[in-house]
Structure 1
């Protein structure tokens, strides 16, 4: 599966700072010190509907992680999956009377268009669950051979009790895990499971649903968590720098994925930091496909909204915060974009050297975008009120905002 085209990231003078970022597993800030190549895995979409602003906010956060690393002169090995076969996709296809594979390809194509418009840096490897099946089957077989998986009516489950570190990603108690498992794709009440929290690794073929040859597992399709594990281990290996996604993935998805990988490899942890973006709401509720309270990136673009303004709207909130999308949010972003573009359109201005370092400090401090935006606001206000004589300043501001914030002025 191919990703989307990359926009050029300008090089800035000087050296960027190492990233301090909030790690869900430890509950505090950690300073990441990757080697020459930083490794990041971000969980991708289930393509049964278009990209909404909740998606955009999440991928924006991890785009910023890449930009901070690139500013330190590192390379970035970024991997993202597409869950292109799963119950929600099959249900939507059945509801609409369309082929599930056609629906998945259509929505994945639209996602690529949205990511391109928002100037999100693409992953080096963009892998669909279906194309990953040949690598998933051997992992499930190995878990079964290790005694970490068991069969129930043809389905294969992972035994969470085989991982001594289970629970160390989300740090939730068993009762909270059980509630979230029921809400987020698990089946804790299924009779016969060794532990209610045990997640499915391989679903035996169901009539009328797609299935693949699973070797000794029989025909079926993979569970959600093992999909990402297979892709991450194949392309990044254990101990990669950041596992990312929305806050609703901390449990069960990232918790279960970490346990799968840790049992398979005997190593701990799967990722050095588990980083989670907040939820975007609309009309008082989390924006979600199941509720239908969505604002789509593609719809905003069709209405003529500048993608740079959409991105500025996302940047105006800290990535870990839960926040509400309103018309005023977009209007404020449009006003800010107009103000910034007017400021950099002049032939000279106040020195921007200090601004670049302020941006670097803000972004290295847990991606503090509100502080970064305020710093650019201050430079633009000084440009408006006093001007300056530095002919290099407008160009430097333009490059810095592009490089570190992903906004094209």
Structure 2
């Protein structure tokens, strides 16, 4: 649980002095992960800078600017506009149903001029902001009362159902996971989590039991992904092709890898989605176990720095928002890595800050801008 009160707090920094209070180690780690992404996008494009790496660098520059702007704005502002951000995210998800662009069999994007925006990415952040604002307003003694628990559950369910309809199972999982973490950190009683786990198990049973019936819950291709996860050899040239080729690439890398731009699976185009969802397998093929663990180490350091900032923050909204966004980021890369290593079904979740993609890059850096804003403007003083 995260709940602090401030006492005799010193003023937070103002003006240019805010730059000195940024979490610079965290920022350097983010740059290191993004640089890894540029390197891999250059590699999987066969040494072509303009194909994927250059556009990603441009998005990173824009995202870094967004991060600094968001970080310099007082965290109280983000608290005030959290409901607007949430409602705006919902409106965008509804708009996808009517004017959304279709790609790879899913309707998930909205074209805004030259930018193709994925509203579900925005909702990952705005949902956490909304829940953090809700619990910063709610008195602690009401946190575990049924009525006040039902409200955040509804806030989580609305966008999750809209995203499931697109369909996008991976992002739906991230929304639920991030929202539940905020509820847990806010202090919702342990008595709710037992039934919640039982409900999750029941949902999995219902999903599997509904297969082939009139009330089938998931799409046919999603069931094929589950079957393939359980036994990729069922359809090695069809539904199991992705995970089969990913497994070959991972194994081919060994301990130290084949070498930069020497990965045959990606260079000869055996590896599907090599610049998006399966870019980690290309990294592992080229740089081996050492390269994979290095990237995982960078991610772990980011998580630890963010969690430390959250638990040191005496502002309830800032602490909960930081904790929720950190959890969302963790689930983001954990699901992707588990997916490409055959430890989880393929659900279409890219590797954060490494995979090619505009919406994810901009939204993630904006989210880290919010974490920086909470860090810079945190109350400074003794605890009571």
Shorter-chain TM-score: which interval?
under 0.3
Task: Report the TM-score when normalising by structure 2.
Answer: 0.24
Higher relative contact order (CA 8 A, sep 6+): 2
Higher strand content, 1 or 2: 1
Q: Which structure would you say has the larger Rg? A: 1
Higher helix content, 1 or 2: 2
